[in-house]
Amino acid sequence: MEWSAHPTEEDARREYERTWGLLGSREIEELLDLPVMSDPVALATLDVLNKIVAPALFTDANLYSWPSAEWSTSV
């Protein structure tokens, strides 16, 4: 997974739109019916991304939104 240390607002918006596009016509509540994630690589990726969210918030608003979109679409 790659992303810029300082993504532009356009980069962040594009990832946000991609996330919603992957959701399609499903309601957010339908995600509760998905199987629990068990892939160790995906779980480790989410663990790392979860740890960088707070520092990203204080660094750059666009950087904060980027991992959130990335982790929802790449694992």
The predicted-structure confidence for 9-62, as pLDDT tens digits, reads as follows 898 888 888 888 888 898 888 989 989 999 999 899 889 888 888 887 787 777
The answer, yes or no, to whether residue 64 has pLDDT greater than 80, is: no
Q: What is the pLDDT of residue 16?
A: 85
Please give the C-alpha separations between residue 22 and each of 14, 15, 31, 37, 61, in angstroms, as whole numbers: 12, 11, 12, 17, 23
What's CA 75's distance to the chain center, in Å?
9
Half-sphere exposure of residue 13: CA atoms within 13 angstroms, side-chain side: 3
The answer, yes or no, to whether residue 7 has pLDDT greater than 70, is: yes
